[in-house]
Amino acid sequence: TTANADGTLDIFGTGDEGASLVLVGTSFSDSSINNFAGFLSEFTGIETTNYSITGGNQFGAMTSYVTSREFAEHRPTFLIWENPIYNSLAQFGPLPMDELIVAAGPPCDIDTGAAVDADVLSADFQAGTLKPVDSFLFDHGGEGARIATVTLSGADGLSRTVRIERSDRLRATGRFYLRLEPFWRPDLTRVSVSFDRPFTETSSLTLCPQLKGDAS
């Protein structure tokens, strides 16, 4: 925030620094009649980019934008998420919100030594190396992929499969995030992924830095 000459407080504190504002939301924000983006631009003095999606449920626009390469490389100064109060963020379990939290965190750029074998990209770990707080980014390497099938395998030979999917109304960013905690097992030794289209030269499976909680 910055103080104005008249003593009022500018909560944006942007001045001429070129702040950016992105709006994501439902059909309410996507509607030109409601003009949410227009009013935000008018009253903040910042040009608003509107990525809202009609028919994408409560997570559609947010997931499409936050998992995009655009967000990863050029994060906006302000991100406004419009979500009607009647939409429960717990409707689809923990995965959608977990994915947003990881995607909004530090870059997932820790190399895992993952290698492609046939139609599977896999990374191997010593038992006990991974922790419940660990998360992964599965990046197809280009837009278009809508499904990532993740397999978590243990030293005992047992495995569990998790399917992360983008519906037709969502942007197919080709980037999928998964936090291990809901599927945790202490003997986890392999993480694998396949997509609904062939791998590219830049397909990757990387580990994310562990997120630090609020110390307060």
pLDDT in tens, 22-37: 999 898 888 888 999 9
Least confident of 51-60, 70-79, 111-120, 183-192: 51-60
Q: Is the pLDDT of residue 155 over 60?
A: yes
Segment 199-214, tens digit of pLDDT:
999 999 999 998 765 4
Task: Look at residue 215 and tell me whether its pLDDT is greater than 50.
Answer: no
3-state SS class at 168: coil
pLDDT of 43: 93
- Cα(167)–Cα(13) distance, integer angstroms: 38
Give the CA angle between residues 198, 201, 205 to the nearest 5°: 80
- Per-domain residue ranges of the chain: 2-92, 115-207
Residue 153 tokens read as 């395998």
d(CA 119, CA 112): 18
Amino acid, res. 190: R
Given the candidates 2.60.120, 3.40.1000, 1.20.950, 2.60.40, the CATH classification of the domain at 115-207 is 2.60.120
pLDDT surpassing 80 at residue 94: yes
Mind spelling out the 3-state secondary structure of 146-186? CEEEEEEEECCCCEEEEEEECCCCCCCCCEEEEECHHHCCC
